Amino acid sequence: MDTGDNSSLPDDFTHVVHSALNLSPDYDQAITNNAEGSALLMQHCRKAKAFLHVSSTCVYRPHADHPNHAYAETDPLGGLASYAEVYPIAKITSEGSVRAAARMLDLPTTIARMNVGYSWTGHGGLPVMQYQTFKAGQPWLTPLGYHNIGSPIGGVDIADQAHKLLEIATVPATIVNWGGDDPVTDQQMGEYVAELTGVTASFVESPVSFDSFWSDNTRREQLIGKCSQHWKEGVRDTFSRLGLIGVAD
pLDDT at 247 > cutoff 60: no
Please give the pLDDT value at position 23: 84
Mean pLDDT along residues 178-189? 98
Please give the pLDDT value at position 70: 98
- Condensed to tens digits (0 to 9), the pLDDT of residues 77-134 reads 999 999 999 999 999 999 999 999 999 999 999 999 999 999 999 999 999 999 999 9
The chain-wide mean pLDDT, for the chain, equals: 96
pTM assigned to the model: 0.96
pLDDT at 76 > cutoff 60: yes
Domain ranges (residues) in the chain: 15-242
Of 120, 139, 221, 245, nearest in space to 186 by CA: 139
Rounded CA separation 171/191 (Å): 43
- Supply the Cα-derived Rg of the chain in whole angstroms: 18
Mean pLDDT along residues 207-231? 97
**Band (46; pLDDT cuts 50, 70, 90):** very high
- The CATH number of the domain covering residues in 15-242: 3.40.50.720
Rounded CA separation 105/64 (Å): 38
Mean pLDDT along residues 164-187? 98
HSE of 197, CA atoms in CB hemisphere, 13 A: 27
- Condensed to tens digits (0 to 9), the pLDDT of residues 87-99 reads 999 999 999 999 9
Of 40, 55, 51, nearest in space to 107 by CA: 51
